Every structure is written in C-alpha cells, then in structure tokens.
Amino acid sequence: VFQLSVPLNFLGSVYRELRQSLLDMETLFNLQKVNVAVKEPKDVKPLLLTGGEIRFENVKFGYRPDRPILKNLSFTIPAGKKVAIVGPSGCGKSTILRLLFRSYDVQEGRILIDGQDIRDVSLESLRKAIGVVPQDTPLFNNTIEHNIKYGNMEASAEEVRAAAKKAHIHQSIQQFPDGYDTMVGERGMMISGGEKQRLAVSRLILKDPPLLFFDEATSALDTYTEQNLLAHINSILKEKSRTSVFVAHRLRTIYDSDLIIVLQSGEVAESGTHEKLIDRAGVYSELWSAQETSLDSSSDETNYSGEG
Ligand code: ATP
C-alpha cells in the first residue's frame, strides 16, 4: 500500500537529493553504488582548503560489516603532491576515492582534508573541491559541448575548446558529424572509451578543482595517447600545484609520482617513491618487474589512434 501522505518538504529534499546526485554524476563512479545515507550535521561549515592535504587515520570500512575492505588504513597525501594508490584488484583503491567523496562514511577512524574531518563540512563544499575522472564516465544525452561544459556551466565556447585541446580531444571532436554540437550519450553517437576518458579530462580541466582524482582514468587509451595526455595532466598539476590521487594498475603511468602508496589486504603494505620502493625489493618492486617483463613481450603497444 502506498503511503500517500508523504510530507511535501520530504519530497522536496528527495528531489534536491536526486538533483544533487545528477549534478554530481561526473563524479559518481556508479550511480547504483551511491549511498545517500551519509548525513550532514546541522550548521555545517564549508570545507576550508589551505593546501589540499588528505589524511586517512585508522580508517576501517566495508560495504558489508562482515566483510571489511579497508582495515586500519592510515596514510597522508601531502598538499600539492601527485600521489598514486596501487595494489591488487579488489583491494579497495576505488573505495578510497568513494570515501573521500563521501559516497559512504567510514566505520572507524577518520578522513581529514586540511585538518577537517570530512563529516564536519558541507557535502556541497566537499564535492565542489573534488574532480574525478572515473573508470567509466557517464555521458549526458546532450551535445559534446554540453558534456564538457558540465565541468563549468559558465565557461565560454573558447574555454570549452581550449580544455578539449588540452585533453587531446579537440581534433577528434572536429571530425564528429556536427562537431561540438554532436549528440552523444545513450541516444546519441557512440564514442569510444578513450574518447570518453578524454572528454572527462576536458571536463575536469574546465572545472579546475583543487583536488583531483583519477581512477584508472587513462586505461582505455592506447599507450601513445595515454603518455601524451598524462604529460599534459602532469604539467597542469605542476603549474597549479594541485593535490592529485591516481588509482592505477599499470605502474608505468604513475612511477613518476611524488609518493606511491601500495595497498594490500586493506592496509598500506609499503609507500615511498618509485626508486625507494624498487630498492626495498617488496611488493611494488615485484609488480614492477612483472609488468615490465610483460610489456617487453607484448607487441600490441604500437597502434595508436589519438591526437599528438
Ligand atoms: P580494481 O583495481 O579491480 O578496480 P579496487 O582496488 O579499486 O579494484 P574497489 O572497487 O575499491 O577495489 O572494491 C573493493 C572491494 O569492494 C571489492 O571486493 C569489491 O567487490 C567490493 N565492492 C565494491 N563496491 C561495492 C559495493 N557497492 N557493494 C559491495 N561491495 C563492493
């Protein structure tokens, strides 16, 4: 039996919640996975960013209480640095980003951004400060222009094009039937995974948030395009000294990070720079050797389709 006497203000908040979810879609790794149960305390303050330091303190989290994914996880991502999180599939790398975005709350411990527990600041200010390039970017059933502009609705046509150029997608867009007016999304033109990823990057460039998360953000690109795009992202990060977190499988894409955090069984197994971790001859060094060996023996790395 339907409950028809739902108070109107409740519906209003559901509507706002929904609208918010749609607005944040770019950053939702998967709409289904989002738990709208995270609560905001009354009279929340906005997040005050000073440098963008991120700190996990004894964080425990599992999607189900009986199956913890992160156990007593502690690490610090220094302000303005490029940090990579690596580790076996399923160890909780994406989960860390979801917790930072407050799609879920930690069960124990806390997450601090510039010293503020993220549960004490407004969700709006937190999510505004974060830009994510997810594994799979949801596209709106709208034009390419709109999909990029979503990063910053006030951006001019020139700014959209400049962002697209930086993300190495401008030339491809010009080849589309209606250029920037080409409809994409479920009812529009099909675009490739790599093009989607570059659209997501141009969105991010336009949004220009203080904290940037890349979740396997370039995995659908061929090596050539990926290297180009990463070089560009790196120069933007350096120029603006933004804090950035890269979740990656292929260590080649992150070995130049200021800090590499290696996860294993829900905890930090080791961390340091590439050189330090190689010297340590532990988990990272083993992974690195394994990947380098397989790179040497693969021959499908030469085809490329991207922009130079
Ligand atoms: P990969 O490298 O394969 O992307 P990951 O290290 O990013 O993996 P997560 O996506 O964080 O791993 O997932 C960690 C664990 O949590 C996995 O075992 C996954 O199956 C589980 N998991 C992820 N999302 C959910 C969810 N919404 N509900 C229940 N379990 C989930």
Q: What is the pLDDT along the chain (308 residues), one digit of tens a residue?
A: 344 444 444 444 444 444 444 444 444 444 334 445 688 878 889 999 999 999 999 999 999 988 999 999 999 999 999 999 999 888 999 999 999 999 999 999 999 999 999 999 999 999 999 998 887 777 888 999 999 998 888 999 999 999 999 888 999 999 999 999 999 877 788 888 888 888 988 999 998 999 999 988 787 778 887 888 888 888 888 888 899 999 988 899 999 999 999 999 899 999 999 999 999 999 999 999 998 888 776 544 444 444 54
Q: What residues have CB less than 8 Å from 96, skipping those under 6 apart?
A: 56, 70, 73, 85, 245, 247
Say what the pLDDT of residue 297 is: 66
297 φ, ψ to 5°? -95, -5
Crossing angle, helix 223-240 and helix 193-207, to 10 degrees?
10
Q: How much is the pLDDT for 26?
A: 43
Q: Classify 248 as helix, strand or coil.
A: coil
ipTM: 0.96
Angle of the 193-207 helix axis to the 157-166 helix axis, nearest 10: 120
Answer yes or no: is the C-beta of 95 below 6 A from any ligand 1 atom: yes
CB of 148 closer than 8 Å to CB of 24: no
Res 36: pLDDT: 53
pLDDT of the residue at 66: 87
CB 69 less than 6 A from any atom of ligand 1: yes
Please name the residue whose Cα sits nearest to atom 19 of ligand 1.
90
Length of the chain: 308
Ligand 1 mean position to 86 CA, how many Å? Answer: 14
User: Ligand 1, from 28, 69, 263: best to mutate by most atoms within 8 Å of Cβ?
Assistant: 69
- Residue 87 CA, closest ligand 1 atom number: 6
> C-alpha distances in angstroms, 58 versus 70, 76, 140, 150, 276?
9, 11, 38, 35, 24
pTM listed for this prediction: 0.81
Contact 92 CB / ligand 1 (< 6 Å): yes
**Interatomic CA distance for residues 307 and 84, integer angstroms:** 26
d(CA 69, ligand 1 centre) in Å: 8
Angle at 268 between CA 262 and CA 270, to 5 degrees: 55
Cβ–ligand 1 contact at 33 (below 6 Å): yes
Q: How much is the pLDDT for 30?
A: 40
